[in-house]
Structures are given as structure tokens and as C-alpha cells.
Amino acid sequence: MSFTALPNILPLRVLIRPTVHRWLSAFALLLLALFTSARPSFAQLTIEIIGGGQAQLPATVLPFAGEERFPHHMSEIISADLFRSGQFKMGSPGDVKPYPAEPTEVKFGYWKEKGDQMLVIGKVSPRPDGKLEVRFRLIDVVKQAQLAGYSYAVTVPQLRATAHKIADIIYEKLTGEPGVFGTRIAYVAKTSERFELHVSDADGFNSQFILAHREPIMSPVWSPDGSQIAYVSFERRKSIVFLHNLKDGSRRILANFEGSNSSPAWHPDGKRLAISLSRDGVAQVYLVNADGTGLQRFTNSNAIDTEPSFSPDGKWLLFTSDRGGSPQIYRMPAGGGEAERMTFEGNYNTTARYSPDGKSFAYVQRNGSRYNVAIMDLASKQSLAITDNSLDESPTFAPNGKLILYSSVVKNRGTLAAVSSDGRLKQRITAQAPDVREPAWGPLQSNRQ
């Protein structure tokens, strides 16, 4: 896919950023799965939004000229992405046909009167080389200014990815935060006969399994560049850590020592991982190079130490340990040093995951017989429960930190759910697979094809 910026042929104005309070803008961004107008035959996941509806930005995506000739309707995908983020109030296209495809065709008076403030227009047309040209512009109706405009040369199968890319640009222009519509997720699905490791677009489309086996698969995590997934597979009837290359499907063993090999976590440099091994007795955290060399013990306790998570700057590791008698979250400098206990409320706190900005971490806390996802702010050490089902687990941050995907057990069935990082906006996600668990959100991929 190649793209070029479209010249701004409207009077240039200052980029508008909504003056939304940081916390307010946080409960945005709901991802995953498809919107009702999308084609359910492709759907792996569907979502239901609970709560939300605060301080939404108005936006109207008009049908792109020529899009109806292709299986993926650009304007519908873009509209669905923005809607699901919870940040936008989507306007209807109205009845002025043909819809404007170029800025010169926009009748500003009409849109102003209709109450639209942000307009997205575009066009899909064949190129001489057999590819398609997709053009779009984001227009501020009130100021009569173009906020963004690009042209892409793509193939038909790339249309959906292009639509997500356009939605990401619009999201970033209007909220000031990177969009995550073009990212991917991984999750484990369990059918009656086997386990499958799936990778899909963040909206649930294009789901494919990259591994299937009758023995369990667990703990998938994306490499920082999105090219590999590390996971634990029991295909040899014991837990072994594998690295799986998503480009060519090749796999190699990262750790296969005596006892359990598990809990891979990537260092942000992508060259090292932390893992948990029981080779020297009880499970301890080790560091290892991605090529399997340089194994080095990181924790030294006579208790279970597992579930490592690197801080985004690579300087710290959070992990779960029951060295104090019950599982709790601890933090240690990545270069070694004293372990500091982070959680004190309750007798079961596990599965810490650093937020992308490194200022907080998500974890799972037990409260009575319930297990819920909570967030702890590292500066204040204040903790907030953000989910309220009975068995919530495996929190994973969207790469822009706005949303947390997790799994929840409903009627003995694992489902995925998402919650804004302030807990205000929740989405339930229904998968077609009977049992879905352990979601892992992939990184931002600026040059994804």
C-alpha cells in the first residue's frame, strides 16, 4: 500500500483538538468486533456497549463515491470504528445525492444547517495499474478547513485495512491520541475437541488461527514489533514456551526445561524476554534472549514467582509472588535489586500488566469469591476495580492505553470483554467459539500493509 497526502485546497486553519479532560477522553475507544451494519458472516466476535455516552465528538462519514462496487464499504467500516470508540456521535449522511467526494463539491451551508461539524468524504476509483485509488478528506464544516487528506493505492483485499487506517487518522486528529483500529489481537479459543490460538483485526474480522492442538495453549503475548507471538503450548504434554513468527508461520522453542516453562513477557527492545521456569525447584522468573541464549535467573525466592511484565522503558519488572504467604504483586528493578510489594489489599492479587505509558498497571484482585480487574496508579498507589463480573482475568491494554481487554466467565463459558481504563465504559464481546480466553492486544503498527 502506498499513500500520499492530499493538498489542502481549503483555507488552512489550525488543527482543532477537543479540550476534553484527560480522564474524560479516557473512557473512549471501544474496540473489537463488528458493528451491526457489517457483514455477520465474517464475524468472529460481536460487541454490546454498556454505559458510556459522555462528551462525544460529532462526526459524519459520507459514503465514498464508487465504494459500493467493492465488498468492503469504506464509509461503513470507518463509521463503525469511530462509533465503537465511544468517543464519537455519528451523524447521518443526509439526502444530498450525489455525496460530495472532493472539497469543492461540499456545500458548507447545507451541512452547517444540518448540524454536522466534522465531515469525512472520499472516493474509490480504479487506477491504470489495476490497483484502486482511495482518497479521503476530513473536513471541519464550521471552519471550512481540511484537517487531513490522503490518497492510497491499494488492492481490493487491502480495502478493509485502509479503512481502519483512515479511522485511525481521523481519531488521532480529533482526539489527539493514536487510534488502535488498525491493530490486531490474539486470543485462545477452546472448542469441544481442541485449543486454537487466533489472531484477528481489532474489530474481530479476519480471524485466523495460527495454531490448533488438542492439548492446551496459553499465555499469548505479542513481540513489540508485532512480528511474533510468544505462547505456552502443552503439545508435548508439558508446558513449553514457543516463539511463533507470524510472517512465515515458523516456530521455535524458547524454553523447554524440566518442569514448567511459562509466562513469557517481552522486553520493550524485542530482543529479550522474561519467563517463569520451575527447573531449579519452585517457579522463578528468568531472563532469556529471544534466540534462547543467555538464560539468567532473575528472582531468587523459595516461593512461586511468575507473570513478569516489563515497564515500557524496560527498567522495571512487575511479577506475582506468594513469598508473603499469598499471591501478591511485586516490583523489581530489571537490573536486579530488592523486590517491593505493591499490593496489600486482599489475599489474592495476580497478573500485573504495565500500562503503555508506564504510569499504572492492571491486575486481577480477588474480592471474596469474585475475581476482578483493577488498576493501580504507581505514583499514588491508589487502586480502582474496573470490572464487576465474577471471574475476570487476563487484562491486556490497547496500545494507546485507553481500553483494557480481558476475559470473563459467563455461564461456564469464557467470553471477552473490554473496559475503558477508568472503568466507566464497558463492552461485552460475544464470540462464536464456545470458550474464548486470554486476549492479547497487539502493538501499533504504523506501516502495516
Partner 1 sequence: MNKVWIGVAAALLVSACGGKGFLGGNQAAVEQRDLFEKQEAQKKEAEAAEQKTKEEQIRKEQDELKKQLAAQQAQAQKDTASGQNGKGATGAATGGATTGAGSTDQGEQPVVTPLPATTLTEQALKETMAAMNDPSNPLSRRSVYFGYDSINVEGEYSQVVEAHAKFLLEHPEVKIRVEGNTDVRGSREYNLALGQRRSDSVKRAFSLLGVPSAQIESVSFGEEKPRIQGDTEDAHQENRRADIVYSGKDMAQ
130 binds partner 1 (CB under 8 A): no
Query: Any contact of residue 377 with partner 1 (CB under 8 A)?
Result: no
Min dist CB 158 to partner 1, Å, is: 20
Can residue 302 be called a binding residue for partner 1 (CB under 8 A)? no
Of the pair 44, 75, the CB lying nearest partner 1 is at 44
Partners of residue 261 on adjacent β-strands: 277
Three-state secondary-structure class, residue 25: helix
CB of 379 to partner 1, least distance (A): 25
Query: Using the 8-state DSSP alphabet, how is residue 157 labeled?
Result: G
Of 16-24, 65-73, 177-185, 206-214, the segment contacting partner 1 by CB under 8 A is 206-214
286 close to 298: Cβ distance less than 8 angstroms: yes
Instruction: Give residues 256-275 in contact with partner 1 (rule: CB under 8 A).
Output: 258-260, 262-263
95 binds partner 1 (CB under 8 A): no
394 lines the binding site for partner 1 (CB under 8 A): yes
- Quote the DSSP letter at residue 442: P
Q: Applying CB under 8 A, which of residues 142, 212, 339, 385 lies at the interface with partner 1? A: 212
CA dihedral 19, 24, 27, 30 (to 10 degrees): -20
For residue 94, give the C-alpha cell.
443526509
Residue type at 147?
L
Segment lying near partner 1 (by CB under 8 A), choices 14-22, 46-54, 137-145, 230-238: 230-238
Sheet arrangement for strand 296-297 = 261-266, 272-277, 284-289, 296-297
Could you give the strand order of the β-sheet that contains 184-190, starting from the edge strand earlier in sequence? 208-213, 195-201, 184-190, 435-441
Amino acid at 382: Q
Instruction: Assess contact for 426 and 419: CB atoms under 8 A.
Output: yes
What's the closest the beta carbon of residue 267 comes to partner 1, in angstroms? Answer: 18
Contact 365, 329 (CB under 8 A): no
Which cell goes with 23?
A: 480522564
Collapsing DSSP to helix, strand or coil, 34 comes out as strand
Q: Is residue 306 within the footprint of partner 1 (CB under 8 A)?
A: yes
Stretch binding partner 1 (CB under 8 A), from 4-12, 153-161, 162-170, 303-311: 303-311
CB of 189 to partner 1, least distance (A): 12
Q: Which is nearer to partner 1, 351 or 387 (CB)?
A: 351
Which of residues 107, 112, 213, 341 is near partner 1 by CB under 8 A? 213
Select 184 or 424, whichever has its Cβ closest to partner 1. Answer: 184
DSSP state of 91: P
Q: Quick check: 36 binds partner 1 (CB under 8 A)?
A: no
Q: Rule CB under 8 A: is residue 339 a binding residue for partner 1?
A: no
Q: In whole angstroms, what is the distance from residue 149 CA to residue 119 CA?
A: 12
Q: Considering beta carbons, is residue 71 or 126 the nearer one to partner 1?
A: 71
Nearest in space to 310 (alpha carbons), one of 278, 369, 247, 264: 264
Contact positions vs partner 1 (CB under 8 A): 193-194, 208-216, 218-219, 232, 234-239, 249, 258-260, 262-263, 276, 278, 281-283, 304, 306-307, 320, 322, 327, 348, 350-351, 364, 366, 371, 390-391, 393-394, 409, 412, 438
